[in-house]
Amino acid sequence: MRAVTLTHYWSRLLLVITTLVITMLVTTSAAASTTLSFRQPEAGPIPTYVKALMEEAYAELDIELTYLDMPRARSIVEANAGRIAGELGRLPGLEQDYPNLIRVDFPLFQYQLVIVADRRQCGLCELNDLENLAYVNGMQGVEHLLAEHDYQRPVVQALDLEQLQLMYRSHRVKAIILNDFEAQQLGLLDDPHNIAVPVLTEIGYHYVHKQHAALVPQLYEVLNSMHSAGRVTAIMREAGARSSQPSEFIAAPQFGRVSATAGHWRSYTNLDGTGAYFELLRRIFGPVSNQLELNANTYQRAILGLEEQRFDILIGTYANHQPDNAIISRLHFDYDRPLFVFAHTEQAINAIMKGTFEPLICHVAGYGYDKFLPQGLNYYHTSNTLDCFAMLDLKRLGAVVAYRENAPDWMSAPYQSQQVHGSLPIHMAFQDTPRGRELRDWFDLRLSELVRSGEIAEFYSQTDLKRSTYILNLPPNPPQQSFVGATPRK
pLDDT tens column, 162-191: 999 999 999 999 999 998 888 988 899 999
For 401, left (φ over 0), alpha (ψ -120 to 50), or beta?
beta
Q: Is residue 59 part of a domain?
A: yes
CA-closest candidate to residue 268, choices 389, 405, 371, 401: 405
- pTM > 0.85: yes or no: no
* Confidence category of residue 45, pLDDT binned at 50, 70, 90: confident
- Give Cα separations from 98 to 95, 140, 207, 208, 419 (angstroms): 5, 12, 11, 11, 56
Question: What's the chain's average pLDDT?
Answer: 86
Q: Is residue 93 part of a domain?
A: yes
66 has a pLDDT exceeding 70? yes
The answer to whether residue 488 scores a pLDDT higher than 70 is no
Strand-pair partners of 284: none
- Least confident range from 77-81, 94-98, 357-361: namely 94-98
Q: CA 294 to CA 278: how far, in whole Å? A: 7
Instruction: Report the residue count for the chain.
Output: 490
Residue 426 lies in a domain: no
* Residue-number span of the structural domain to which 362 is assigned: 339-421
Q: Do 13 and 148 contact (CB within 8 A), yes or no?
A: no
pLDDT at residue 1, as a whole number: 44
Task: Show which of 177, 200, 223 is a domain's final residue.
Answer: 200
Better-scored residue on pLDDT, 208 or 474? 208
- Whether 466 shows a pLDDT value over 90: the answer reads yes
Q: Are residues 117 and 147 in the same domain?
A: yes
Residue-level pLDDT at 12 = 59
Looking at residue 380, its amino acid is Y
% of the chain beyond a pLDDT of 90: 64
208 and 187, same domain (yes or no): no
Structural domain contains residue 444: yes
Q: Are residues 88 and 41 in the same domain?
A: yes
One-letter amino acid identity for 48? Answer: T
Residue 39 bridge partners (DSSP): 68
Residue type, position 5, single letter: T
User: What is the pLDDT averaged over residues 431-441?
Assistant: 93
Task: Specify whether 57 is located in the same domain as 137.
Answer: no
Per-residue pLDDT band at 7 (split at 50, 70, 90): low
Domain annotation covers residue 487: no
> Comparing 31 with 280, which gets the higher pLDDT?
280
- The torsion defined by the Cα of 127, 451, 116 and 336, in degrees rounded to 10, comes to 160
Q: Is 462 within a domain?
A: yes
pLDDT, mean of residues 19-39: 55
Please report, in angstroms and rounded to a whole number, the separation of the first and last CA atoms in the chain.
82
Which residues, in sequence order, are bridge partners of residue 104?
206
Give yes or no: residues 117 and 194 share one domain: yes
- The band of 321, judged by pLDDT with boundaries at 50, 70 and 90, is confident
Residues 409 and 270 in one domain: no
- Whichever domain contains 368, its CATH number is 3.40.190.10
Beta bridge partners of 488: 201
Nearest to 158 by CA among 130, 137, 178: 137
Residues with Cβ within 8 Å of residue 445, at least 6 apart in sequence: 249, 484, 485
What is the torsional sign of CA 126, 127, 130, 133? positive
Number of domains comprising the chain? 4
**227 and 349 assigned to the same domain:** no
Is the domain of 150 the same as that of 176? Answer: yes
Task: Assess whether 191 and 268 both reside in one domain.
Answer: no
* 261 and 234 both lie in a single domain: no
Determine which of 151-155, 233-237, 359-363 has the lowest per-residue pLDDT on average: 233-237
CB count in 10 Å sphere of residue 228: 9
pLDDT grade, residue 21 (50/70/90)? very low
Please check whether residues 399 and 364 belong to one and the same domain: yes
pLDDT number for residue 22: 39
Mean pLDDT over 38-67 rounds to 92
Residue 29 has pLDDT above 50, yes or no: no
In this structure, of 25-39, 124-138, 186-200, 451-465, the range with the lowest mean pLDDT score is 25-39
Residues 138 and 185 in one domain: yes
Q: Give the pLDDT score at 366.
A: 87
CA dihedral 177, 181, 185, 190 (to 10 degrees): 80
Residue 347 belongs to a domain: yes
Q: Does residue 7 fall inside a structural domain?
A: no
